[in-house]
Amino acid sequence: AQKVTQAQTEISVVEKEDVTLDCVYETRDTTYYLFWYKQPPSGELVFLIRRNSFDEQNEISGRYSWNFQKSTSSFNFTITASQVVDSAVYFCALTSGGYQKVTFGIGTKLQVIP
């Protein structure tokens, strides 16, 4: 069985603050892939990043950064200097298994207050 836990259901920050969204995963497979998706109020999920289980290198893309730690089974997402446009629901997802079963977390709703 595999599981994705996003313990923070809602976060509110003031514009320009930094914010970290947590993701903890469980899987028995040694090969797996982790993803973050953004779902803005319009509703359409948008891919942000993918990481495979053999690549623990952290990644930075503009104001976004991701910290993957296998030791704690976590794949956290940080937004630096948040903006109102960052307001959305963010989902962490995991694929693993022989047939690459897909599991999403319940999402973290981020509200950035101007």
Partner 1 sequence: EAGVAQSPRYKIIEKRQSVAFWCNPISGHATLYWYQQILGQGPKLLIQFQNNGVVDDSQLPKDRFSAERLKGVDSTLKIQPAKLEDSAVYLCASSSQLDYSYNEQFFGPGTRLTVL
User: For partner 1, which is the closer residue by CB, 42 or 114?
Assistant: 42
| Site for partner 1 contains 77 (CB under 8 A) | no
Range in contact with partner 1 (rule: CB under 8 A) among 16-24, 45-53, 64-72, 79-87: 45-53
| Site for partner 1 contains 100 (CB under 8 A) | yes
**DSSP-derived pairing of the beta strands 108-113 and 59-61:** unpaired
Question: Contact, 101 vs 1, CB < 8 A?
Answer: no
Taking CB under 8 A as the criterion, the residue among 26, 106, 111, 113 binding partner 1 is 106
In whole angstroms, the minimum distance from the beta carbon of 31 to partner 1 comes to: 8
Give dist(CA 96, CA 52) in Å, integer.
10
End-to-end CA distance of the chain: 41
User: For partner 1, which is the closer residue by CB, 41 or 114?
Assistant: 41
Residue 88: partners with Cβ closer than 8 Å, 6 or more residues away: 38, 39, 40, 41, 109, 110
State the residues that interact with partner 1 by CB under 8 A.
4, 6, 32-33, 35, 37, 42-47, 50, 52, 91, 93, 95-96, 99-107
